[in-house]
Structure 1
Amino acid sequence: MPSFTFLIGGFFHFMLIKRMFITFVTSILGILLMGAVPFAFNGTSFQFSKYTDGLKELLSQLSHLADITYPAGAAQRSLFPDVWEPYTYSMTVLFSALFLALFLAILLSILISLLPKRLYQGAKSILFVFESFPDILITVLIQFLIIWIYKKTNVLLFDVVAFGDSQPYTLPILCLSVMPIILSLRILLFHMEEEWEEPYIENAKSKGLSRLYILIHHIMPNTLIHFFHQSKMILWFMLSNLLVIEILFNIRGITNFVYQHGFPAIFTVASLLVFLPMYAFFALGSWFTNRWAMQSEAAATAAAQSSLNLEPLWRVLKRLLVRIVRPLQYVAAQPLFVAGFCIIGSILALSLIHNYAFGNEIPQTQVIYAKDGFNALGRAPFEPSSRFWFGTDQFGFELLYKIASGAKYTIGLAFFISLARLLLSFAGGYLFFIMNQRVKEWLKGLVDSTHYIPVALLCYFILNAVVLSEGMTFWQKGTFYILILTLVAVPAVSVMIGSEMELISYREFVTSAKVLGGSRFHVFSRHILPHTLPKLWFIYIQQIMYVLILFAHLGLLQIFFGGTVLEEYTVFGGDLLPKSMSNEWSGLIGSYYRQMMLRPYLLIIPVLFFAVSIFGVNLMLEGLKRTIEDLQWQRKKYFHPASLVIVAVAVGLCFFAVHKFSDDFRQRAKAVSAQKVEAKETERKIPIVELERDTISQFADGMINGVREYYIGGPMERSIINGVYGKPIKVKDYEKRTEYYYKEDGYQIIISSGLSRVINRMQVEYDSSRKDIKEAMKMKPMKETKDSLSYLKGRYLVLFTEKSKGHWWLSLQDQYYFR
């Protein structure tokens, strides 16, 4: 008997080593294949010949590691040994956060399991809420908490960013461990609940063992075995979050190093370096738990194979559609699902209302004036207030309407990309299911390599050149963006669905169907597929959450749907601001995150909307789970009173928001109308009334009456100017500037913008006499000619040019710009 046990153990270890070897080889092969993917794209077209050539070039570079260099300013530096410092730092932070998360999650799971039932359910509800918080939000809030404590106590608990050669450890480790603690705790509690239902637990209770003893000695060991095999997903999340941590903390870690200096060779080397310790962790864990994921080669061999079932295909499709839609008949009985649906539906509805009822316009307020219409009370940006609910950016655009404008893209794309992933993965899962077992092992290893690469970085290297391209349209860039975000997840989701089908195929009822002569198609359509379809709903909703998180990560990398535009936003140019063409929320994050220390609301509000959307999706997922559980136990419910209350609240909030939209645009229309009337009334008064002390002093601030909404150095937003003065009567393009001509009550107004897209000259046409001008200006002209008068106010040149007798141009411009 001992010799037989020894043989069984030896065979098991041999199979374990074999599986570990296959996983190691295929993972390295997968990383190499993915590293060459950026070579294959020429714009939006995939060229296989370029991919093979790029793969050869990549292998050639990897065979001479010492010759790989990266740009550092104007010089080129060798990758080795420079890469060791960021690599060591990142791995220290990653695994420190992992072990901290595991320790705290295990400790908290024991404590929560010992709580009374009500407190236990309350703790789970709190975990459910916190699970919806994106990593970006958690990191930013922790940073601001440290800063707030420092301001109140003058005590800096931790460094919030890296300065020079100083690299922070404590705060990045804490921030990186928050989400893994929540995810690990949820998984542990789920498996603990399953273990409490096992028969051996009842036996242990009958012996008088305490709840704590049973938990420590019986439930926890079995739970940890199940948990270990799901920890790969947690570590993959942490690797993706590590990129966010390194960017927000300005850390020179390995993922930030690849982001800043990356090309395929550096990307591949970094991925291989990250793979080695992660693989070692999982390999050792599998060895010590003796639970390496191994499936039986086959459950049973069919005694006979009948011919293909010739049931009409339309009946099969109809039956499948009914099985998919059936749970939706009962979701109204689950308030959680209704609440989540109302959250997502309300945001989408408001976005569509803003698009179709209000023309997708983003109101802009650059300056707030006093009641006299001349004295400025403040300039953009404005913080959140009763007037500006979410505040404005530095150009005066209201964040509320940017959020509303981008919601249809963010949420709509998340649902569409997730659906495309699911449909392609379902087909891929079926192909994986019918494959030979040996092929499956190697294919699993290849797909497994995706867990060692931050998917946001892979998308960045593929999409970066396309989103910055000026020769492509919005929808060309957007379509390519959708395609890449869909395809990057298809292999992993396909294997997941195929493995689920494989597990179902090992059940006794499937084996019985095969023994009774059921064909492969019959067994699949009648037995395997009906048990797979309910889980597709879970996968779909989970993919929506993953896509939203990926959006946020790509936003930090300045990869926006529809393209990324780099605009100059200072008077003298040179400073580039990434701008989204669609206002989707990741674009707002990418545009504003560098300003988070000055204007934190610009970053926090878009991230909060990501969190609210993820929370809504989580509610839908939880409600759907409970609906399917009710169906399995034949508890059919069609309605719940709380659902009606939730819908009523959602409708009320939408009505309140639409009323706010209407008021804002109505007031804006009145203001524009009043400005036009005022411009008509005051334009002829410029020589007599407006050349007063206060008016003349405004010249030094770059402002001129008649065009008071705008000022020299302000952003040139043609759409806003058109709203005040109408469509320009003509536009002239020069080498370094563009001039827009407008007509108001018989007088012309010319607004000029330079290469930096800011206003650099304004001209107003009016009637006066030379004597009146001199008396009004009350200063000697800097220069006087037969037909002109020049004055210098601050850094601005005030120029009066006589077109005809008594008819002048008043021009205000930067004195240096046109020289």
Structure 2
Amino acid sequence: MIRILQGILITVCILLGIVLISNVEKGIDVISKEEVQVVLLPGGKLQSVVESFPGAVIVDESAGILKFPPETLKAMSSQLNRHKQVQAVLPVVTTPSFDFKNYAEALKNQANSYLDGDFGAIGYFSRPQPVPISSSLDDMIKRSLSYLVPGLFLGIIFGFAAALIAVAKPKVGKVLDVGHGFLMSLPDFFVVVLLQFLAIAINKMAGSPVIIIMQFVKQTPFLIPMLAIAILPAALVYGTLRIAFEREWDEGYIKTAYSKGLSRPRVIFAHIMRNTMEDFLTIIPRAVSVALTSLVVVEVMAGIFGLGGYAVNKSIAYVTSLATTCAILAGFALIVQGLFAYLRSRVIVNTKEGA
């Protein structure tokens, strides 16, 4: 019961954190509350304009910057716009500051929107009105999960199998260790670029686009996102299990198993795998987090309209739904972590079992 309550508390804190962080920019104020910039009509003079507004102070005459008491700035700006020598009144950008009042108002508006069933919208350059995110969520979720889930499973299986091969065949393991070190040193975006270059080369050799590199209308890449998502989780799982397997080889029960005539494969599958299961179940949530990061990177670089890449799509002017899509991705990670936390509590053998 305590663990369930802890899980609920963690989930609530994460979702609340997403809402708080997604609205931070609305609390950042870069507009001066005391100064405005006056654009004069041809022949206009700033000094004569100031004479009509008691309390106005010229800060920078060449730039047309005037200063007013903060409480009168809004009213004075409106009156300045109607002055016969003034063409326009513009705000002045100043040192950023955080306005807690604006931030609290933004959080209140966000909460009211959620209660009204409004989870944000997407503004397109080609459409006059924003489109509710709810109308696109189904397709976005299906699209992202179509390569996230198989990519994640492929990475976990490949990493686990590579670790087994490395411990069973030490010479092969040295080669795999070098490859592991190389993959762990590569940033996500570089992995995607390498896969895209490889796909371009294959397409040229084949004489036709056999591998889709970028999303085009309803043609969505699958192979590149899946591989990009699989590579780093595979390297993470391999590195963790490689260390765990090596640790177990130094244990006394391994020598006992060999003295009883057990073969190397039998020792690996009957004992080492059992005693490293905790390491495996512990690293999976971390692998999921890495896979989600790779998902965002590959969707952005491949122009895929999915949960991670839609916000920077070239056809989109703005979005107000990032909190919603981030919550969906966080929910996926939380479900997986909860599942493996449950498995650790049920499956893990707390005391090592010898041969």
TM over 0.5: yes
Q: Distance in 1 between matches of 2:225 and 2:250?
A: 39
Question: Which of 90, 100, 113 pairs up with 2:167?
Answer: 113
Question: Which of 235, 251, 256 pairs up with 2:309?
Answer: 256
Q: Does 1:285 align with 2:340?
A: yes
Q: Could you say if the C-alpha distance between residues 21 and 108 of structure 1 is closer, same or farther in structure 2, counting changes exceeding 3 Å?
A: same
Q: CA deviation at 1:109?
A: 1.0
Query: Secondary structure of the residue that 1:42 maps to in structure 2?
Result: strand
Query: Secondary structure of the residue that 1:253 maps to in structure 2?
Result: coil
Question: Which of 18, 27, 30 pairs up with 2:5?
Answer: 18
Q: Does 1:61 align with 2:48?
A: no
Is the 1:35–1:265 contact (alpha carbons within 8 Å) kept by the matching residues of 2?
no
Q: Could you say if the C-alpha distance between residues 224 and 95 of structure 1 is closer, same or farther in structure 2, counting changes exceeding 3 Å?
A: farther
Q: Distance in 1 between matches of 2:108 and 2:347?
A: 34
Match of 1:731 in 2: none
Is the 2:289–2:333 contact (alpha carbons within 8 Å) kept by the matching residues of 1?
no
Q: Could you say if the C-alpha distance between residues 221 and 89 of structure 1 is closer, same or farther in structure 2, counting changes exceeding 3 Å?
A: farther
Q: Could you say if the C-alpha distance between residues 152 and 122 of structure 1 is closer, same or farther in structure 2, counting changes exceeding 3 Å?
A: closer
Is the 1:101–1:180 contact (alpha carbons within 8 Å) kept by the matching residues of 2?
yes
Q: Does 1:103 align with 2:157?
A: yes
Is the 2:188–2:294 contact (alpha carbons within 8 Å) kept by the matching residues of 1?
yes
Is the 1:106–1:185 contact (alpha carbons within 8 Å) kept by the matching residues of 2?
yes
Match of 2:249 in 1: 196
Matches within 5 A, 1:660-739: none
Query: Which string of whole-angstrom CA distances, capped at 9 and with x for unpartnered residues, describes residues 376-414 of structure 1?
Result: xxxxxxxxxxxxxxxxxxxxxxxxxxxxxxxxxxxxxxx
Q: Could you say if the C-alpha distance between residues 148 and 18 of structure 1 is closer, same or farther in structure 2, counting changes exceeding 3 Å?
A: same
Amino acid at match of 2:149: F
Query: Which string of whole-angstrom CA distances, capped at 9 and with x for unpartnered residues, describes residues 81-121 of structure 1?
Result: 212211221123222211110111111111111113x4433
Matches within 5 A, 1:252-401: 252-260=305-313, 265-290=320-345
Q: Does 1:71 align with 2:126?
A: no
Q: Distance in 1 between matches of 2:251 and 2:16?
A: 42
Q: Distance in 2 between matches of 1:27 and 1:199?
A: 43
Q: Distance in 1 between matches of 2:173 and 2:347?
A: 32
Q: CA deviation at 1:251?
A: 0.9
Q: CA deviation at 1:155?
A: 4.7
Q: Does 1:159 align with 2:146?
A: no
Is the 1:247–1:256 contact (alpha carbons within 8 Å) kept by the matching residues of 2?
yes
Q: Could you say if the C-alpha distance between residues 214 and 100 of structure 1 is closer, same or farther in structure 2, counting changes exceeding 3 Å?
A: same
Q: Distance in 2 between matches of 1:68 and 1:129?
A: 41
Is the 1:36–1:264 contact (alpha carbons within 8 Å) kept by the matching residues of 2?
no
Is the 2:285–2:336 contact (alpha carbons within 8 Å) kept by the matching residues of 1?
no
Q: Distance in 2 between matches of 1:113 and 1:224?
A: 15
Question: Which of 132, 145, 160 pairs up with 1:91?
Answer: 145
Structure 1 ranges of 4+ moved more than 6 A: none
Is the 2:214–2:302 contact (alpha carbons within 8 Å) kept by the matching residues of 1?
yes
Query: Which string of whole-angstrom CA distances, capped at 9 and with x for unpartnered residues, describes residues 137-163 of structure 1?
Result: 222222222222222232543211111
Query: Secondary structure of the residue that 1:70 maps to in structure 2?
Result: strand
Matches within 5 A, 1:767-782: none
Amino acid at match of 1:273: I
Q: Could you say if the C-alpha distance between residues 176 and 257 of structure 1 is closer, same or farther in structure 2, counting changes exceeding 3 Å?
A: same
Q: CA deviation at 1:263?
A: 6.6
Query: Which string of whole-angstrom CA distances, capped at 9 and with x for unpartnered residues, describes residues 159-197 of structure 1?
Result: 111111111222210122112212221111012112222
Q: Distance in 2 between matches of 1:83 and 1:110?
A: 40
Q: Does 1:46 align with 2:33?
A: no
Query: Which string of whole-angstrom CA distances, capped at 9 and with x for unpartnered residues, describes residues 427-482 of structure 1?
Result: xxxxxxxxxxxxxxxxxxxxxxxxxxxxxxxxxxxxxxxxxxxxxxxxxxxxxxxx
Is the 2:141–2:306 contact (alpha carbons within 8 Å) kept by the matching residues of 1?
yes
Q: Distance in 1 between matches of 2:117 and 2:261?
A: 64
Q: Does 1:125 align with 2:112?
A: no
Q: Distance in 2 between matches of 1:220 and 1:66?
A: 49
Amino acid at match of 1:246: E
Q: Does 1:33 align with 2:20?
A: yes
Match of 1:699 in 2: none
Amino acid at match of 2:306: G
Q: Distance in 2 between matches of 1:125 and 1:68?
A: 46
Q: Distance in 1 between matches of 2:283 and 2:25?
A: 30
Q: CA deviation at 1:49?
A: 2.6
Q: CA deviation at 1:229?
A: 2.0
Q: Could you say if the C-alpha distance between residues 229 and 51 of structure 1 is closer, same or farther in structure 2, counting changes exceeding 3 Å?
A: farther
Is the 1:225–1:291 contact (alpha carbons within 8 Å) kept by the matching residues of 2?
no
Give the count of matched residue pairs. Answer: 279
Match of 1:206 in 2: 259
Greater relative CO, 1 or 2 (CA 8 Å, sep 6+) = 2
Query: Secondary structure of the residue that 1:75 maps to in structure 2?
Result: coil
Query: Which string of whole-angstrom CA distances, capped at 9 and with x for unpartnered residues, describes residues 543-588 of structure 1?
Result: xxxxxxxxxxxxxxxxxxxxxxxxxxxxxxxxxxxxxxxxxxxxxx
Q: Could you say if the C-alpha distance between residues 36 and 67 of structure 1 is closer, same or farther in structure 2, counting changes exceeding 3 Å?
A: closer
Q: Distance in 2 between matches of 1:257 and 1:36?
A: 19
Amino acid at match of 2:131: R
Q: CA deviation at 1:289?
A: 2.2
Amino acid at match of 2:301: L
Is the 2:118–2:132 contact (alpha carbons within 8 Å) kept by the matching residues of 1?
yes
Is the 2:300–2:310 contact (alpha carbons within 8 Å) kept by the matching residues of 1?
no
Amino acid at match of 1:182: A
Query: Secondary structure of the residue that 2:123 maps to in structure 1?
Result: strand
Amino acid at match of 1:283: G
Is the 1:146–1:158 contact (alpha carbons within 8 Å) kept by the matching residues of 2?
yes
Is the 2:162–2:176 contact (alpha carbons within 8 Å) kept by the matching residues of 1?
no
Is the 1:35–1:264 contact (alpha carbons within 8 Å) kept by the matching residues of 2?
no
Is the 2:163–2:241 contact (alpha carbons within 8 Å) kept by the matching residues of 1?
yes
Matches within 5 A, 1:405-484: none
Match of 1:183 in 2: 236
Q: Could you say if the C-alpha distance between residues 265 and 206 of structure 1 is closer, same or farther in structure 2, counting changes exceeding 3 Å?
A: farther
Query: Which string of whole-angstrom CA distances, capped at 9 and with x for unpartnered residues, describes residues 11-62 of structure 1?
Result: xxx3332332222222222222222222221233223332222221211122
Query: Secondary structure of the residue that 2:131 maps to in structure 1?
Result: strand
Match of 2:93 in 1: none
Query: Secondary structure of the residue that 1:252 maps to in structure 2?
Result: coil
